Amino acid sequence: MLDTKPYRSSTWFGKKDKMGLIYRSWMKNQGMPEDMFDGRPVIGICNTWSELTPCNAHLRDIAESVRRGVLEAGGFPLEFPIMSLGETLMKPTAMLFRNLASMDAEESIRGNPIDGVVLLTGCDKTTPSTLMGAASVDLPTIVVPGGPMLNGKYHGHDIGSGTSVWKLTEELKKGEITYDEYAEVESCMSRSPGHCMTMGTASTMACMVEALGMSLSGGAAIPAVDSRRKRLAQLSGRRIVEMVKEDLKISKILTRDAFENAIKVNAAVGGSSNFIIHLTAIAGRMGVTLNLDDFDDIGSKMPLLVNLMPSGKFLMEDFYYAGGVPAVLKQMQSVLKMDTITVSGKTHAGNIAHTGINYNKEVIYEFEHPIIPEAGITVLKGNLAVNGAVIKPSAATPGLMQHRGRAVVFKDIEDYHARVDDPDLDIDETCVMVLKTVGPVGYPGMPEVGNMTLPKKLLDKGITDMVRISDGRMSGTAYGTVVLHVSPESAIGGNLALVENGDMIELDVANKRIHLEVSDEALALRRNNWVQPVPAATRGYVNLYIKHVQQADKGADLDFLVGGSGSTVTRDSH
Give 254-277 pLDDT, tens digit per residue: 999 999 999 999 999 999 999 999
Give 116-161 pLDDT, tens digit per residue: 999 999 999 999 999 999 999 999 999 999 999 999 999 889 999 9
Q: In degrees, to the nearest 5, what angle opens at C-alpha 73 toward C-alphas 68 and 74?
A: 100
Mean pLDDT rounded to a whole number for the chain: 96
Mean pLDDT of 326-353: 98
Distance CA 199, CA 178 (A): 27
Helix (H, G, I), strand (E, B) or coil at 28: helix
Helix (H, G, I), strand (E, B) or coil at 68: helix
DSSP for 380-426, written as a single string: EEETTEEEEEEE-GGGS-GGGSEEEEEEEEESSHHHHHHHTT-TT--
Q: What is the pLDDT of residue 183?
A: 87
Among candidate residues 312, 337, 334, 316, the one with its CA nearest the CA of residue 325: 316
Q: What is the pLDDT of residue 186?
A: 86
Distances in Å between the alpha carbon of 355 and those of 323, 328, 348?
8, 11, 11
Backbone angles phi, psi at 232, to 5 degrees: -60, -40
DSSP summary character for residue 466 = -
Among candidate residues 75, 295, 206, the one with its CA nearest the CA of residue 476: 206
Helix (H, G, I), strand (E, B) or coil at 366: coil
**Residue 4: pLDDT over 70:** no
Whether the CB-CB separation of 185 and 159 falls below 8 Å is answered with yes
Distance CA 396, CA 464 (A): 11
**Residue 477: pLDDT over 90:** no
Distance CA 251, CA 422 (A): 53
